[in-house]
Structure 1
């Protein structure tokens, strides 16, 4: 039998099958590409937000003896080449070229105490000496001149140095100053010039922060900070600088090319970094073995862990979508086989074998599925993203499954096909089918229990995704669909008994036909219920994510906006902040650290008027108990708290505040009344506030403004979060379309039998209007009951699966514990889908042609 002949004869069904296969292949090929692109965006975002010291490769070595040869820039450059040659091949392809990006090398002599500046004795000051390659491209001299070659004096070398302008002002070392340095070797330096950094936010300066500002460090047990400035020396000073020891450090920074680091290459890059860390060569005589200072492998491991969490949740959603799409394809394949039934029966009667029948149906379906699958696969190339193995294999799997479903239709021709009336008697399921369905239900329940205990996404970073647990949610929806399929005839039979007492015959006949559902109708239940359940689940999860993201943003900011200052804020500064446009309520506070007796645990103390702060938080997810002293949950139950600080005091907590400790890192927090300490934090309420104006109003250096809108934008705009939100939206739309297609296909599949039944009833006097109502009554109970069960299952899935799904990657680190009780979207989705399906049944009944006249003529 020529398959193309069957395609032409049944071109309507073939077109629907082709469209379904095309959409399924497009989804299975495009979703991995888009997802992989989002993973790469998340990785690039994580690298961009991380310090270059963490993402770049920095080889560090310290001199522990006199050098064998003078140190020059050429020697350091040659060492850089040898380091690069020792990199693993995977890592070598991901690093920037010498001198490109943030790549450079540096020598620094540190821990040089300042004895005097121009004869003025100084204390707690240090002047480090350093040389960095490429400074001519990154500095702009604003006073004086660049440093030159050092001079040899009787009491040690005199280095010429250039200082950053800000460091010169803070250290009080103007141009022309002579600085006496101490330590094991006597040194001195003269300041020849002041510079300002070009592109101060570049990776080059973020590696060399000590060169452009004063570092203030408080050593253990000290009462004051030590101030460290770093002077820039000339390349001609390297021989003298390299001959010194100890406290001489060499660094070679090998910049990493961000676009070359992708998610697909992340595992091998992390392994390459670990391999190089254990095999850093020694390249200079008299130096210690080199060590690799980088956090790139840890950053890649963190990204892969988060990616596996996101992947597990996406696989669940996409798995449900593919299950439903293949179910609809199975319905259409069955419809096509029904249309081919007479031809297949004929060739079977003429001696065709069962494999021959299977080959004929498979060839007919493949004639449609293969071109449609190829088109869907080709359309996926219009979307950006890397080509993974799943992109290529996914469409092949869809086409292969479609052909197998077609070949399986040959099983209906194992024996001669006798005429039967499916509308008069309902066939009983075989013991094998009952056993298989019971096994699905038991496995779904067992998997649900394991998922709640072990979690779907909690340990994927260490152990990887569990395929069984990923399939549990989809299996649970199928199990519920099977239960509904077996149970829904019973309430209908009760309705049939009630309808039998009514005078009109249409309710009785329609409900009787609904209770004796045909195989196509029962198969549509297995599609409609999972589709609606997953769609409702997606809407509920999206609502839970949005609610938790809001709560996470408030917990990270503590108000609509928060201003933190390193220096005390004057009352005038607070008043200027009140006058900024958009600012409503303002609550000043004091942030400090203290110890808690008796274990001397360090805590954050927030001195604030809790009543005023509670009023500012009114209507927000943050709730403050009505008490002047509050503690975070990790300090609850301790009783009175004795704080040890500059001003020690004893406090009695009156309540526990949840979430506020995340404002300052999540550590132990004590909220207490102000003790008179200077204000350094301001909580602000209002709308339309500008961070620049708030910062300018404070009038202080090192002021940081944190806005709730900015934090929420970061959370919601994160690639992982945006990906899952888009996935839920696309999947919901696709599932609704597939569910409607399943109902319509079920209507068409049973159309021949239904037309015959209606024709006999029309011959007995059934009117056209009654025939339409009869068709709607036959379809509506199944649709309504299945839609209701799907909606209830979708609403229950977050509660059932919630403990096993870790969604913190999408909410800024806050666990999703509460899902909104808003039923508007699920109810509208369910009602709209059911109404559209029932309307489709009505339209189908309206457009159908009655054949009662032919029956009356004896046909």
Structure 2
């Protein structure tokens, strides 16, 4: 047996350490990006559902269970009185929490239970604040854990009633006598929140009398005033009146308001509420903890909510708690709305995933192909000396796997550490795919090239494309055409209901691949024609550069494909981000009408406009009079329109600057006699028709004539309008809206100016910047934008890498050529020019082709790409009126392409400078073993 002295893998790694390090770095970075991508998507989707549950109203984001209301005549039932004691309610609460599915993690801190009056009860006490609608009414609640959720501001917490001993349990048999029970208490203690005390004029010692039908009045003595520890928590916000009083209105016309407050009783006072005239009900509020919910748990949570609302879990709860147990929750709606948002954004994000994935795959194949091309002579020699193809492939795979596998594992582990949230299997699968492609690219290319011995030939003289290549290219063209048709017909807007369409998501990649194949086929022709024209000129540099660039060896296909695909992905990603930004900016302008807006239901305080004009950053203020529900006197039963009055010159300038229905000032300026010119919305124009028409109430008629029709106007974000000159309005017409221009206007300054008038109540201040930020409040939107930005940057980086790989691969051959030419009299300066000029046609082709393909992809796919939910998760009517379309971003198109050209020229210049400083004798003897 012959001992192997120099094993293949160890020898290769020791003789070519730089190649091994390059593979390690390339595979490590690629594995990190591919593993981090799905985990980043899971992370922002999980953050999104937690955000939705956190910002939702507490009465919607949890479960509210309630037993059957107890009628007053049933208040003496010992069994009912025993069922509402704190111990019994706590036991049932634990049973409910134990039965709920594990997919719904409960939050004991915000959960509560107790007994409360089902409807407000009339309460009487001296000194209570009365409104036009009459005396206040109260909701009485004996809720658990009051001491843990309230801070005593003054006084003390209520004590249990002195006769609140645990009532005896009812006898198991109706024939067995029951123990006599204590009479229900007629007097209990309670507390109110500071907001209730201030609004209703409740003080410590106030005695509130609640009348009852089956017994004497229930007397509630106020012993303290408390402040909620966390006012927005579910404990206080499931029933907001426990925290803050509100208005109720009488039924008769006109409706008159009266106060509605809450009296907080000790938990032991629950039996005392059974005799209330408005009926009392035991309840259990179970809060859901969103902290344990991730992207992979959403489907399980939806199924769990369905089983609780009307499924086996509800049946089990009714068997364990009460046959008439009712459940109320808004979780199903929250999860459904979030599912629509995620489903609308997922197809758009999948486009980025396909784009970057395609670029990465092509770059890995390019690296393997260039390595195989660089070692073509070595592998041909092994085959000529009897080396088997499987053996060579196995050894190449082994030497690539030694640096690639540890790099992939390290990159995947780093991604899991840096992005801790998310499912594990997509990241592991991505790492495996990267490893397989990286380890298989070099062996596959070597096996394809050396499957049979071939005679030597010129590397720069490409053969005729084979039939297999032609069929493959035609198949890709057919797939690209099918993808374009799918995008134009179905688009990405159906993802919320049907999931991600793989063909639609792969459309930019397929178009980029098809365009790159067409460019590879066509680009040698114009270069060869240019070389013919240069051949007649003096000097050989230009001719040599064009002639060499016009010869397209097979190794240039993958680098060019990687460049075009990367530039297309970067351009598409930048266009998506640009479309999102443009839609948000436009929606914010439509919503506010200017950089800032100050408005009130009635007239604004006098002098406010002058004060605002003096604020720093304010460049203009337009005063607008607004009157809603103005009749058109056209006999139509349609709703009235909004009448707007403004100064023609100032308002016309604002409309032109904002792009909201610009018009010449003369179209609005009122003359002396005759009808008043009016700018109206399309609906109003259709109703008014041609000629002058009288509109408005009988007390202030207005004779108007349509002078222009505009679909939008700064003073009104939505609805039909009539805009006239303020001077044409009769009577005092104080401004109701101020439209403030100024890019650096301060919201605090505007609010301070409003407060300085002393009439800040009912005046709303809105800033365009705040409105714009509100459109991107969901983490799903911000996370998807970050993913797209990283995808665009990664694509640009891999484009540069593909270019560098191609230049490095061609460097030895170019160095040898330059050395030969220098022996024939070529100067160093001419050699540098030759290397730089030889690289320019290919880089210009890749850059221009990437820009062109990116522009075509955006132009072709724009009608089918839906960016509405990505741009505006909940933008209201103003956002709904603004289309979110894919728009071409010049920076994303031109900057990567220009970077490719500059990088190619810079690398070529550095190579030329380094080569011309070395001796040509050394280069000519490269590979000489003598």
TM over 0.5: yes
The match for 2:480 is 444
2:474 aligned with 1:415: no
The match for 2:766 is 706
Q: Per the alignment, do residues 31 and 606 of structure 1 end up closer, same or farther by CA in structure 2, a change over 3 Å counting?
A: farther
The match for 1:231 is 262
Aligned counterpart in structure 1 of residue 348 of structure 2, from 313, 324, 329: 313
- Kept in 2, the 8 Å contact 1:130–1:233? The answer is yes
Secondary structure of the 2:232 match is coil
Deviation digits for residues 825-858 of structure 1 (CA, Å, limit 9, x no counterpart): 6434322320211221232233235656886999
Aligned counterpart in structure 1 of residue 710 of structure 2, from 647, 656, 659: 656
Secondary structure of the 1:750 match is helix
The match for 2:139 is 129
Query: Displacement of 1:778 after TM fit?
Result: 2.7
Q: C-alpha distance in 1, partners of 2:87/2:598? A: 48
Query: Displacement of 1:670 after TM fit?
Result: 6.7
The match for 1:51 is 57
Q: Per the alignment, do residues 630 and 464 of structure 1 end up closer, same or farther by CA in structure 2, a change over 3 Å counting?
A: farther
Aligned counterpart in structure 2 of residue 206 of structure 1, from 237, 259, 263: 237
2:132 aligned with 1:107: no
Query: Displacement of 1:475 after TM fit?
Result: 1.0
Q: Per the alignment, do residues 280 and 187 of structure 1 end up closer, same or farther by CA in structure 2, a change over 3 Å counting?
A: farther
Aligned counterpart in structure 2 of residue 252 of structure 1, from 260, 284, 293: 284
- Kept in 2, the 8 Å contact 1:25–1:394? The answer is yes
Query: Displacement of 1:5 after TM fit?
Result: 1.7
2:33 aligned with 1:24: no
Q: Per the alignment, do residues 662 and 330 of structure 1 end up closer, same or farther by CA in structure 2, a change over 3 Å counting?
A: farther
Q: C-alpha distance in 1, partners of 2:158/2:806? A: 86
TM-score by length of 1: 0.87
Q: C-alpha distance in 2, partners of 1:173/1:856? A: 103
- Kept in 2, the 8 Å contact 1:715–1:810? The answer is no
Q: Per the alignment, do residues 231 and 688 of structure 1 end up closer, same or farther by CA in structure 2, a change over 3 Å counting?
A: closer
Query: Displacement of 1:743 after TM fit?
Result: 2.1
Query: Displacement of 1:173 after TM fit?
Result: 6.5
Q: Which runs of 5+ in 2 are unaligned?
A: 1-6, 164-182, 669-676
2:725 aligned with 1:688: no
Aligned counterpart in structure 2 of residue 291 of structure 1, from 326, 345, 349: 326
Taking only aligned residues, the RMSD between alpha carbons, in angstroms, comes to 4.1
Query: Displacement of 1:357 after TM fit?
Result: 2.2
Number of paired residues? 849
Secondary structure of the 1:658 match is coil
Query: Displacement of 1:817 after TM fit?
Result: 4.9
Deviation digits for residues 519-542 of structure 1 (CA, Å, limit 9, x no counterpart): 222321111111122223333333
Q: C-alpha distance in 2, partners of 1:318/1:613? A: 46
The match for 1:398 is 434
Secondary structure of the 1:192 match is strand
2:388 aligned with 1:329: no
The match for 1:539 is 574
Query: Displacement of 1:76 after TM fit?
Result: 2.6
Instruction: Answer with 848-857 or 345-354: which moved more.
Output: 848-857
The match for 2:168 is none
- Aligned ranges for residues 136-215 of structure 1 at < 5 Å? 136-139=147-150, 162-164=191-193, 166-167=195-196, 170=199, 176=206, 192=222, 195=225, 197-198=227-228, 199-215=230-246
The match for 2:787 is 727
2:575 aligned with 1:521: no
2:898 aligned with 1:831: yes
The match for 1:619 is 657
- Kept in 2, the 8 Å contact 1:161–1:231? The answer is no
TM-score by length of 2: 0.81
Query: Displacement of 1:732 after TM fit?
Result: 3.5
Q: C-alpha distance in 1, partners of 2:356/2:647? A: 50
Q: C-alpha distance in 2, partners of 1:488/1:218? A: 79
Instruction: Answer with 38-47 or 584-593: which moved more.
Output: 584-593
Aligned counterpart in structure 2 of residue 95 of structure 1, from 106, 111, 114: 106
The match for 1:503 is 538
- Kept in 2, the 8 Å contact 1:324–1:735? The answer is yes
Secondary structure of the 1:51 match is coil
Query: Displacement of 1:419 after TM fit?
Result: 0.7
The match for 2:405 is 370
Q: C-alpha distance in 2, partners of 1:512/1:139? A: 86
2:634 aligned with 1:609: no
Instruction: Answer with 383-392 or 225-234: which moved more.
Output: 225-234
Deviation digits for residues 390-434 of structure 1 (CA, Å, limit 9, x no counterpart): 1112111101012222221212112113110133x3311011101
Query: Displacement of 1:228 after TM fit?
Result: 4.2
Deviation digits for residues 531-559 of structure 1 (CA, Å, limit 9, x no counterpart): 12222333333333322222222223333
Secondary structure of the 1:264 match is helix
2:911 aligned with 1:844: yes
Deviation digits for residues 164-212 of structure 1 (CA, Å, limit 9, x no counterpart): 5554565566664656769999967666367353343333332232234
Q: C-alpha distance in 1, partners of 2:560/2:598? A: 57
2:478 aligned with 1:466: no
Q: C-alpha distance in 2, partners of 1:683/1:196? A: 43
Q: C-alpha distance in 2, partners of 1:133/1:678? A: 53
Secondary structure of the 2:597 match is strand
- Kept in 1, the 8 Å contact 2:113–2:282? The answer is no
Secondary structure of the 1:69 match is helix
- Kept in 1, the 8 Å contact 2:122–2:211? The answer is yes
The match for 1:548 is 583
- Kept in 1, the 8 Å contact 2:359–2:566? The answer is yes
- Kept in 1, the 8 Å contact 2:66–2:327? The answer is yes
Secondary structure of the 2:60 match is helix
Q: Which runs of 5+ in 1 are unaligned?
A: none
The match for 2:41 is 35
Secondary structure of the 2:765 match is strand
- Kept in 2, the 8 Å contact 1:642–1:648? The answer is no
Query: Displacement of 1:801 after TM fit?
Result: 1.7
2:294 aligned with 1:262: yes
Q: Per the alignment, do residues 397 and 594 of structure 1 end up closer, same or farther by CA in structure 2, a change over 3 Å counting?
A: farther
